[in-house]
Amino acid sequence: MTNNDAERIFAVVVTYLPQAQPLVDLLTLLAPQVIRVLVVDNTSMDDDRVDSLCHKLHLPNVELTRLGSNFGIAKAFNIGIEAAISEGATHVLLSDQDSQPSFDMVSGLVRAEIELKKSGVPLAAIGPSFTNINSGDLFPFLVNVKGSLFFGRRSASPEHPHIEALTLISSGTLISVAAIKAIGLMREDFFIDSVDTEWCYRARALGYRLYGTAWATMLHRMGDSSLRVWYFGWFRANAYSPLRVYYQIRNLVRLHYLGYKGIRWRIRNIWSILGIFYFHVLYGKNRLEALRMAFRGLSDAFGGRMGKFEP
């Protein structure tokens, strides 16, 4: 990436009780690719790990904002996005602490964006192809399948480098400021989980499109670990804590209230909710707690109780 390409691309990295080495790797790889890295830390004020790490790295274009408490990934992203816009950014690259971009990820995203816009695509965002650190598997993009009630998954390739996706994970996603101003910021009441899904469907409802590209790659940790589950054969699924099960169930159910129509989307969403129950209640390490939190998520979704979980 040239300096001209990078001079108005700002990265927003959200942290919460991160492990030191993965965050060091992330910031070290990302800082040379953008004009500025805005780290927004949700860790409590009495924990100085992120502040200490940023000072030790001596990266002049890394700036830290400490929120002093966990306000959720959506609010932290929004704080970083608004700061980037106020400083003249034309694009914002989102990242959480569990990603490791390739050394040329941002330039690949920019090249893909230029090519897609030349063809007249109303682009909302573009994301890299990523490999799940827990499983070692290349994670495919969620796509429409013509003539099917269900969506499919497809990976970008050298022959077909750009894939139109239904959703993108927030980490590694490059969004133009023009698109952010038209589509809006992240929904802070979602707190965590499905924040990116909601934004992507909102963008699509407004006529924008989302793409994943093979020209940019990164490693990303999906879940806390992996589960061995049976689903027409044994495979590894992403494992999450009972608290994350709560947020996943609550927010996926709440998506049905937001006016996103279409039988295919509703079937897929219901299937995803049932899958979370199935994986974590039957195969998870904390099955009873996962079941309790899943039902609490359903209750809060139907009751309209959003934001941070309150016991």
Closest CA to 239 of 292, 286, 171: 286
Read off the pLDDT band of 7 (50, 70, 90): low
Q: Identify whether the C-beta of residue 276 lies closer than 8 Å to the C-beta of residue 290.
A: no
Q: So what's the pLDDT on residue 261?
A: 67
Closest CA to 80 of 45, 126, 39, 51: 39
DSSP 83-99: HHHHTT-SEEEEEETTE
- Region 82-91: mean pLDDT is 97
Is pLDDT of 5 > 60?
no
Is pLDDT of 253 > 60?
yes
Query: How does the average pLDDT of the chain come out, rounded?
Result: 93
- State how far the Cα of 55 lies from the Cα of 60, in Å rounded to an integer: 10
Q: At what angle do helices 287-303 and 263-283 cross, to 10 degrees?
A: 150
- Output the pTM of the full model: 0.94
Residue 235 CB neighbours (<10 A): 13
- State how far the Cα of 87 lies from the Cα of 90, in Å rounded to an integer: 10
**Tell me, what amino acid is at 158?**
P
Question: What residues contact 52, with CB distance under 8 A and at least 6 apart?
Answer: none
Q: Identify whether the C-beta of residue 35 lies closer than 8 Å to the C-beta of residue 8.
A: yes
- State how far the Cα of 167 lies from the Cα of 143, in Å rounded to an integer: 8
Tell me whether strands 9-15 and 91-96 are parallel, antiparallel or unpaired: parallel
Per-residue pLDDT tens digits for 128-151: 999 988 888 899 999 988 877 778
- φ and ψ at 116, to 5 degrees? -65, -40
DSSP 153-195: EE---SSS-EEEES---STT-EEEHHHHHHH----GGG-SSSH
Per-residue pLDDT tens digits for 54-76: 999 999 999 999 999 999 999 99
Q: Identify whether the C-beta of residue 56 lies closer than 8 Å to the C-beta of residue 27.
A: no
* Tokens 């022959």 -> residue: 159
- Domains in the chain, CATH or no CATH each: 3-220 (3.90.550.60), 225-303 (no CATH)
Per-residue pLDDT tens digits for 151-198: 899 999 999 999 999 999 999 999 999 999 999 999 999 999 999 999
Q: So what's the pLDDT on residue 228?
A: 87
